[in-house]
Homo-oligomer: A and B are copies of this chain.
Amino acid sequence: MSVLESRAPRTTRLPLTLVRAGDAPHRAGKAVDARIHCSVCNLREVCLPGGLPGAEQALFDGLVYTRKRVKRGESLYRVGTAFDSLHAVRSGFFKSRMVLADGRDQVTGFHMAGEVLGMDGICTEFHTTDIVALEDSEVCVIPYARLAEPGLQRQLQKVMSRELVRDQGVMMLLGTMRAEERLAAFLLNLSQRFVARGYAPDEFHLRMTRDEIGSYLGLSLETVSRLFSRFHDGGLIAVQQKHIRILDIPALKAVLGREAN
């Protein structure tokens, strides 16, 4: 018998659907309301205005006047596309991907609600990655040219800086960690990000395949699958396909930090 009991909770609770109760629902198929106010968005604290005092958050209110839906499997933008806007994930889930000259590709990130995409395009005004939706998603379009206010620019720099720090973490992961540690770090990171968005830290639905996880972590999909099984058998997590329940967060943390053996 699987560690995950029944299948019922899977359909009734989808932590990755990040529009919560209290959210103004979108009228699907209808043009999005032209007046979109960051200051009343429930994602504001994990998104671009995050951390600013309420008064300053209002500076963002005039900024976003378009939202864009991206269906599962479609891309928000591609390598070489002209850059003119940043995008904030409103709902859904994305991956970013780079392709090497010889065709090998790598997933360079997974992106959930509130995260800002496209900052790689600022330097050359062309995007350097593909962004692909892993489920039906929606983004807020933030025209870069309208981010003129020094306060807004400062805030953007903070977000970019956070991204630089995040990248350093990925470099550590890819450069120094063994497979087991990488997957543990990955799961803990996802968990943290769910918590920051008001979700349970210990149960979620992966939107990406083993292949995509492996690509991101510099591992083969088989290794990822084997590690999930090993963590499952060790009682650290309960896995059933894309359903993950973390049973022992301290033990997962202990996987990091214990170098050889």
Interface residues of A (CB under 8 A from B): 98, 100-102, 104-106, 108, 119-124, 128-129, 148, 150, 153-154, 156-165, 167-168, 170-172, 174-176, 215-218, 256-259
B218 pairs with A175, CB closer than 8 A: yes
Query: Which residues of B have CB within 8 Å of A122?
Result: 157-158, 160-161
Which of B123, B164, B171, B176 interacts with A119 by CB under 8 Å?
A: B164
Whether the Cβ atoms of A175 and B215 lie closer than 8 Å is yes
A-B contact pairs, 29 of them (CB 8 A): A100-B176, A101-B256, A101-B257, A102-B256, A102-B258, A104-B176, A106-B176, A119-B164, A120-B161, A120-B164, A120-B165, A122-B160, A122-B161, A123-B159, A123-B161, A129-B168, A148-B150, A153-B154, A153-B157, A156-B157, A160-B160, A160-B161, A164-B164, A167-B168, A167-B171, A170-B171, A174-B175, A174-B218, A176-B218
Interchain CB contact under 8 A, B106 and A171: yes
List the B residue with the shortest CB-CB distance to A158. Answer: B123
Q: How distant is A81 from chain B, measured CB to nearest CB, in Å? A: 14
Smallest CB-CB separation from A216: which chain B residue? Answer: B175
- What chain B residues lie within 8 Å of A163 (beta carbons)? 164
Q: Which residues of B contact A257 (CB under 8 A)?
A: 100-102
List the number of copies, as a whole number: 2
Tell me the dominant secondary structure on chain A's binding face.
helix
A122 to B155, CA, bound (A): 10
Q: What residue in chain B is nearest A149 (Cβ atoms)? A: B150
| Minimum CB–CB distance for A172 against chain B, Å | 5
Q: Which residues of B are found within 8 Å of A153, using beta-carbon distances?
A: 150, 153-154, 157
**Closest residue of chain B to A215, judged by CB?**
B175
**B102–A168 contact, CB under 8 A?**
no
- How far is B101's CA from A113's CA once the two chains are assembled, in angstroms? 29
Given contacts A120-B161, A157-B153, contact A172 B98 (CB under 8 A): yes
Q: Please, how many angstroms separate the alpha-carbon atoms of A216 and B168 in the complex?
A: 11
- CB of B101 within 8 A of CB of A172, answer no
A131 → chain B, closest Cβ, in Å? 13
